[in-house]
Amino acid sequence: MNVGWIGLGKLGAPCALALQHLAGHDVLGYDVRRQDVERLFADPSDHGEEGFGALIELGPLKLAHTIGEVVAHADVVFVAVQTPHAPAYGGETPMPEERRDFEYGYLIQAVRDVCRAAADQAKPITLVVVSTVLPGTCNKHLRGLLNPFVTLVYSPLFIAMGSTLKDFREPEFVLMGADSPESLAPVAAVYAALHDRPVFRASIETAELIKVAYNTFISMKIVWANTMMEICHKTGADCDQLVNALTLATDRVISPAYMRGGMGDGGACHPRDMIAMSWLAERLNLSYDLLGQMAYAREAQSGWLADLTERWAEQTGFDIAILGKAYKPGTALTAGSPALLLAHQLAERGHDVVLWDAPVDSRMDLTEPAVFVVGTKHPANTSLKFPPGTVVLDPFGYMPDQPGVTVIRVGRKS
């Protein structure tokens, strides 16, 4: 099938290549930052996605100079441009009091250009919006841009930076929202060539909500897990044993994923999605803003870790260092990083905090004892040799014992 893909960032580029090389579609890509995309394809080493370089070696992605070229080529056009928040809403720092929706300017412009090109060419296409939006966005901002040549489908992806290709090739399900079931057939055919995962069909408004509900449900599980970790730390219970027991309750508790104590939720989507949903709660005058409270809980739990770190720093007289900047292991990406949030909170309290990230930074010179906090669960952290007297605060409970080193596995008995 002839496919167009608009938006070739860190998520879009691997997906477009997967459709070309793994599904066998004829894909034509477009991005307003064409030079950046060309550089990325020429040197994919810093992209951070497992398997991305191997796909590049199979052959480059064809790039269009205009959206009109994409429309002329494709039967199905995916739009995967960013819907960003301002940096203050990313989760690396405490969130502002004012809530905001996502910024839809890039998405609106891309959809407008696609629709104009389809009308100019009298070319029927299926337009698939991939970008994350709040419910009601397509009706409010995009539907008025459509014309008789364009059929709108909302089909967001459940993928994460660092594991994009795996998530794209092996999704739990494919979500598609449209005005009529018949509209979904071309999109289903695109995905059917890539995998055999089930398709969940819904209205556009419902699909919009499912996407952000999925993301924020994960955030809720992490907030809950870290609440249990704090209770365990203060009562002598063990949060890993707690989760091990709950994993047996598959009829009621669902999956144990994201239920282990650790750092707060992170990434380019999850913290900002909670804030955007809090904005929606205000607009809809909901009876209770659960999502906003979850965002506050994420920050408060990080603040409690800052309290714990401070107490050990005061007790020992040592400096503070955080092991990790990335928002999760296996990537160097720092968007929404809970490690950076913790560093910000400690800096606000007057501490000069050193951050060190195993996959990115040169080897740390561990000559003096300090209070180390594990901010990212990088496997490489377990091989570090700390000076005697060092204190290691480990929210994940995976750091090994070392002679002369105090390892505190937060919320665990051992």
How far is the C-alpha of 42 from the C-alpha of 36, rounded, in Å?
10
Question: Cα separation of 316 and 310, whole Å?
Answer: 10
Helix axes 239-246, 204-235, angle to 10 degrees: 130
Residues 192 and 212 in one domain: no
Instruction: Choose among 366, 363, 365, 375: nearest CA to 399.
Output: 375
- Say if residues 331 and 325 touch (Cβ distance below 8 Å): no
DSSP state letter for 379: G
* Cβ pair 30, 219 in contact under 8 A: no
Which stretches of the chain score pLDDT less than 70? Answer: 45-48
Backbone angles phi, psi at 232, to 5 degrees: -60, -40
Please identify, among 156, 187, 202, the residue that sits at the C-terminal boundary of a domain.
202
In Å, what is the CA distance from 293 to each residue of 270, 285, 411? 14, 15, 23
What is residue 262's predicted lDDT score, i.e. its pLDDT? 95
Residues 189 and 223 both lie in one domain? no
Q: What's the pLDDT at 47?
A: 62
Q: Return the CATH number at 69.
A: 3.40.50.720
Q: Which helix (H) or strand (E) holds 185?
A: helix 185-192
User: pLDDT (tens digit, 9 = 90+) per residue, 216-268?
Assistant: 999 999 999 999 999 999 999 999 999 999 999 888 877 888 889 999 999 88
Q: How far apart are CA 247 and CA 172, in angstroms?
A: 19
The answer to whether 37 touches 12, Cβ cutoff 8 Å, is no
Number of Cβ within a 10 Å radius of residue 391:
21
* Same domain (yes/no): 92, 212: no
d(CA 72, CA 341): 46
Q: What is the pLDDT of residue 38?
A: 87
- Per-chain mean pLDDT for the chain: 93
* Domain span at 386: 204-414
d(CA 218, CA 212): 10
Beta bridge mates, 407: 392
Decide: 334 and 345 in contact? Cβ < 8 Å: no
Assess whether 305 and 334 both reside in one domain.
yes
Q: Are residues 172 and 238 in the same domain?
A: no
Rounded distance, CA 357 to CA 26, Å? 39
The DSSP code for 403 is T
Do 114 and 127 reside in the same domain of the chain?
yes
Where among 202, 228, 261 does a domain terminate? 202
Domain boundary among 181, 202, 223: 202
Supply the pLDDT for residue 45.
Answer: 66
CA–CA gap between residue 370 and residue 318 (Å, rounded): 5
The predicted structure's pLDDT at residue 53: 86
Cβ-proximal residues to 245 (8 Å cutoff; 6+ apart), any chain = none
pLDDT of residue 333: 85
Q: Are 227 and 195 in a shared domain?
A: no
- Give one word for 111, left, alpha or beta, with left for phi > 0 and alpha for psi -120 to 50: alpha
Q: Do 142 and 25 have their domain in common?
A: yes
Q: Do 306 and 162 have their domain in common? A: no
Q: Is 9 in the same domain as 145?
A: yes
Asked if 213 and 185 sit in the same domain, the reply is no
Name the nearest CA neighbour of 312 among 397, 412, 408, 239. Answer: 408
Q: Rg for the chain (alpha carbons), in Å?
A: 23
Q: What is the pLDDT of residue 89?
A: 86
Residue-level pLDDT at 60: 85
Residue 284 neighbours by CB distance under 10 Å:
11
Q: Angle of helix 270-284 relative to helix 204-235, nearest 10 degrees?
A: 110
The whole-model pTM stands at 0.86
DSSP string, 297-326: HHHHHHHHHHHHHHHHHHHH---EEEE--S
Regarding whether 212 and 125 lie in a shared domain, the answer is no
Predicted pLDDT at 387: 94
Number of domains in the chain: 2
